[in-house]
């Protein structure tokens, strides 16, 4: 039978879809050339923002309703929305054949086999993790690859649903990560991005290095030690990691980014707000001056570091003064790019019980203001590169013009 996966959400979801796709192939299924030609359609869902959740549920509703015209087609959901809604997902989307949560996606081929045997619908949102070997497979022929190093999050920011749907932090053993990357590089991969919801927490919740391991460069912190070990893999050209947190911007990390040849001079470091009052309400674990010091630490070692960030506008009780603080702080830091989101309440979060009192029009206006200002900054930063020769990692032909390369 042929399958198709539709993915919503972050890089973690993209990586989950890759692993699921390879699992399906290993179990004898084949990839469909399009959604329309698929016997099995899987929607990988995201619940970080209300809009992403609504899109995923809307897509599932259309697919489930369309089964009337496609007898025998199997439609199912995986991912964060399933973990959040659990059994309620069948009430929201009648006609689903299966729904599998974030911890259990490694069992998907077996679950689909049960559905094909007439034993569905099946809902599995168990909390016990499937052995990671089920989720380390990668498609062949790629130049770049995502590699999970940390699952879950312990931070409990008041707006964020991730701890509820991804669970507590758990770091993979460093030797397993390095073995996976060696296999990728031997297959032609040249760029690797290490993934974690709060990647700089790697190795804090559980031991990841053998007691006998010693860092040649003298790194003591788990993440810099991992960066050093991956950098030593023969054939790796570029190494990235995301998403960051100011508390992880230590002298050791800055030194690793400065000294290790493959580590890219780029960091995605979510700010969320420039207002200390809002940051404390968000329970981010830092105020604006802490963030400023983190950037100073990085730029001291890596002066030309490229910085990208996330911002939330319209958080409950955000005033014009709070918003102006964000505008000024973003201009002070000088981000290369920013992803700006309008606040939406998420279930199972502390902020869900607060009055969402910033009007939708105000959220939209603030969103536009930040994007316009960021476009100006980005244009100025890129303008300074005119006339310089840059190294580019070619990733294939352009989607818009097949006679051109992209990278």
pLDDT, one tens digit per residue, over 6-54 is 999 989 999 999 999 999 999 999 999 999 999 999 999 999 988 899 9
Residue 230 maps to a domain: yes
What pLDDT is recorded for position 328? 98
> For residue 308, what is the DSSP state?
E
Confidence grade of residue 132 (pLDDT, cut at 50, 70, 90): low
Phi, psi of 154 (to 5 degrees): -105, 5
Domain for residue 132, yes or no? Answer: no
Alpha carbon distance 148, 106 (integer Å): 14
Summary mean pLDDT of the chain: 94
Phi/psi at 360 (5° precision): -60, -40
Both 113 and 16 in one domain: the answer is yes
Both 154 and 23 in one domain: the answer is no
Where a domain ends, among 75, 95, 124? 124
The verdict on 98 and 147 lying in the same domain is no
Q: Which whole number is the average pLDDT over 102-124?
A: 92
In this prediction the pTM is: 0.93
CATH code, domain carrying 321: 3.80.30.20
d(CA 288, CA 275): 7
pLDDT at 129 over 90: no
Asked if residue 280 is part of any domain, the answer here is yes
**Number of domains the chain is built from:** 2
Element (DSSP H or E) covering residue 164: helix 162-166
Rounded Cα gap, residues 337 and 340, in angstroms = 10
Based on the domain organization, do 293 and 187 belong to the same domain? yes
**Is residue 195 domain-shared with residue 328, that is, in the same domain?**
yes
Percent above pLDDT 90 for the chain: 88
pLDDT above 70: residue 130: no
Closest Cα to residue 121, out of 160, 150, 151, 91? 91
In the sheet where 74-79 sits, what is the strand order? 30-31, 2-7, 40-45, 74-79, 98-100, 122-124
Q: Would residue 44 count as lying in a domain?
A: yes
Q: In terms of residue numbers, what domain contains 33?
A: 2-124
Instruction: State both tokens at 367.
Output: 């969103």
The region of weakest confidence among 119-133, 226-240, 299-313 is 119-133
- Which pLDDT score is estimated for 395? 86
Is position 392 within any domain? yes
Top-confidence residue, 129 or 352: 352
Q: Is residue 267 part of a domain?
A: yes
Q: What share of the chain is helix, strand, coil (3-state, %, to 5)?
A: 40, 15, 40
Residue at a domain's end among 96, 124, 152: 124
81 burial type by CB count under 10 A (0-12 exposed, 13-18 middle, 19+ buried): buried
Instruction: Give 67's pLDDT tier (boundaries 50, 70, 90).
Output: confident
Which DSSP string do the residues of 236-251 spell out, in sequence order? --EEEEE---GGG--H
pLDDT digits (tens, 9 = 90+) for 167-181: 999 999 999 999 999
What average pLDDT score do residues 153-161 get?
94
- Position 70 scores a pLDDT of 84
292 and 143 inside one domain:
yes
Choosing from 94, 124, 154, the residue where a domain stops is 124
Per residue in 182-234, pLDDT tens? 999 999 999 999 999 999 999 998 999 998 899 999 999 999 999 999 999 99
Assign 123 to helix, strand or coil: strand
Checking if the pLDDT of 133 tops 70, the result is no
Look up the CATH number of the domain holding residue 58.
3.40.50.12160
Instruction: Report helix angle 222-231 to 251-259, nearest 10.
Output: 10
pLDDT on residue 25: 95
């Amino acid at each position: 039978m042929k399958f198709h996966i539709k993915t919503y959400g972050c890089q973690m979801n993209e990586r989950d879809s890759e692993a699921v796709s390879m699992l399906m192939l290993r179990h004898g299924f084949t990839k469909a050339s399009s959604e329309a030609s698929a016997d099995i359609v899987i929607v990988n869902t995201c619940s970080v923002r209300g809009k992403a959740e609504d899109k995923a549920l809307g897509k599932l509703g259309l697919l489930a309703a369309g089964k009337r015209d496609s007898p025998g087609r199997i439609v199912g959901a995986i991912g964060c929305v399933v973990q959040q809604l659990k059994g309620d997902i069948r009430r929201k989307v009648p006609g689903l054949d299966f729904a599998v949560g974030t911890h259990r996606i490694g069992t998907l081929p077996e679950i689909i086999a049960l559905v094909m045997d007439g034993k569905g619908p099946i809902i599995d949102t168990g909390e016990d993790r499937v052995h990671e070997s089920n989720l380390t497979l990668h498609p062949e022929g790629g130049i770049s690859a995502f590699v999970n190093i940390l699952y879950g999050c312990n931070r409990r920011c008041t707006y964020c649903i991730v701890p509820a749907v991804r669970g507590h932090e758990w770091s993979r053993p460093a030797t397993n990560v390095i073995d996976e990357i060696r296999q990728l590089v031997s297959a032609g991969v040249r760029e690797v991005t290490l993934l974690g919801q709060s990647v700089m927490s790697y190795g804090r919740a559980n031991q990841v290095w053998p007691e006998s391991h010693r860092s040649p460069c003298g790194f003591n912190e788990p993440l810099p030690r991992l960066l050093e070990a991956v950098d030593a893999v023969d054939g790796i050209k570029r190494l990235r990691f995301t998403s960051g947190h100011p508390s992880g911007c230590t002298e050791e990390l800055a030194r690793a980014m400065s000294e290790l040849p493959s580590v890219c001079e780029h960091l995605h470091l979510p700010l969320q707000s420039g207002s200390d009052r809002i940051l404390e309400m968000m329970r981010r674990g830092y105020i604006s001056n802490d963030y400023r010091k983190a950037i100073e630490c990085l730029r001291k070692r890596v002066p030309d570091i490229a910085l990208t960030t996330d911002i939330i506008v319209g958080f409950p009780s955000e005033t014009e003064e709070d918003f102006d603080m964000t505008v000024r702080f973003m201009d002070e830091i000088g981000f290369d790019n920013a992803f700006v989101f309008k606040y939406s309440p998420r279930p199972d979060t502390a902020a869900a019980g607060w009055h969402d009192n910033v009007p939708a029009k105000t959220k939209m206006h603030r969103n536009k203001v930040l994007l316009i200002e960021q476009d100006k900054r980005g244009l100025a930063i890129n303008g300074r590169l005119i006339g310089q020769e840059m190294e580019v990692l070619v990733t294939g032909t352009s989607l818009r013009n097949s006679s051109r390369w992209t990278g």
